[in-house]
Amino acid sequence: MFIGHLPAGYLITSAILARSNARFKSKRAYRKFLWIGILASILPDFDLFWFYLIDNCQHLHHSYWTHIPIYWIGTSAVFLALGYALKNRTVLLGTTLFSLNIFGHLFLDTIVGKIRWLYPFSDDDLVFFDVPARYNWWVWNFVFHWTFALEIILTALAVSLFLKRCHRGTPMVCDH
Ligand SMILES: [Zn+2]
Residue 24 C-alpha to ligand 1 middle, in angstroms? 31
* Beta-bridge partners for 121: none
Domain ranges of the chain: 5-168
Residue 35 C-alpha to ligand 1 middle, in angstroms? 18
* Beta-bridge partners for 115: 126
Q: What is the pLDDT of residues 109-136, one digit of tens each?
A: 999 999 999 999 999 999 999 999 999 9
Please tell me the predicted confidence (pLDDT) of residue 35. 94
Residue 67 C-alpha to ligand 1 middle, in angstroms? 6
Cα-based torsion angle of the residue sequence 149, 108, 136, 65 in order, rounded to the nearest 10 degrees: 170
Residue 43 C-alpha to ligand 1 middle, in angstroms? 8
Question: What is the Cα–Cα distance from 150 to 4, expressed in whole angstroms?
Answer: 8
pLDDT for 174 beyond 60: no
Residue 86 C-alpha to ligand 1 middle, in angstroms? 32
